[in-house]
């Protein structure tokens, strides 16, 4: 996936959340404006060429000083937000670095 293409789609409002992302956002107190802002000011951390459900990626964006991870995929011509969360231990040491796996 191309981060600039993601940003272009999001800028035009051409994105939507999966039911899972909607629930995770609610659990993390992340609203749709935060997700949009994070995506518009994001960097790609990981790219997943084919997860069995198509291409996806992990991006990092910030809303103020708050880091937000967004896993994105494509659905038709739109960006699908698969999940969204605030990176924290034990899975992430910092917003860009995964924690150790057991």
CB atoms within 10 A of CB 24: 19
* H-helix segments, the chain: 3-11, 19-27, 32-40
What six digits make up the tokens of 45? 């951390």
Mean pLDDT of the chain: 93
CA 102 to chain centre: 24
Q: What residues are paired with 69 via a beta bridge?
A: 60, 85
pLDDT of 101 reads 66
Q: What are residue 95's DSSP bridge partners?
A: none
Whole-structure pTM value: 0.91
| Domains defined for the chain, CATH in brackets | 3-93 (3.30.2310.40)
Higher pLDDT: 6 or 100? It is: 6
């Amino acid at each position: 996936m191309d981060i600039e293409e993601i940003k272009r789609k999001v800028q035009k409002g051409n994105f939507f959340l999966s039911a899972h992302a909607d629930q995770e956002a609610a659990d993390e107190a992340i609203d749709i404006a935060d997700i949009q802002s994070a995506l518009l000011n994001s960097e790609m951390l990981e790219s997943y060429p084919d997860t069995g459900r198509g291409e996806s990626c992990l991006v990092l964006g910030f809303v103020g000083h708050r880091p937000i991870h967004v896993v994105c995929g494509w659905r038709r011509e739109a960006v699908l937000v698969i999940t969204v969360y605030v990176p924290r231990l034990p899975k992430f040491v910092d917003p860009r670095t995964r924690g150790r796996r057991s």
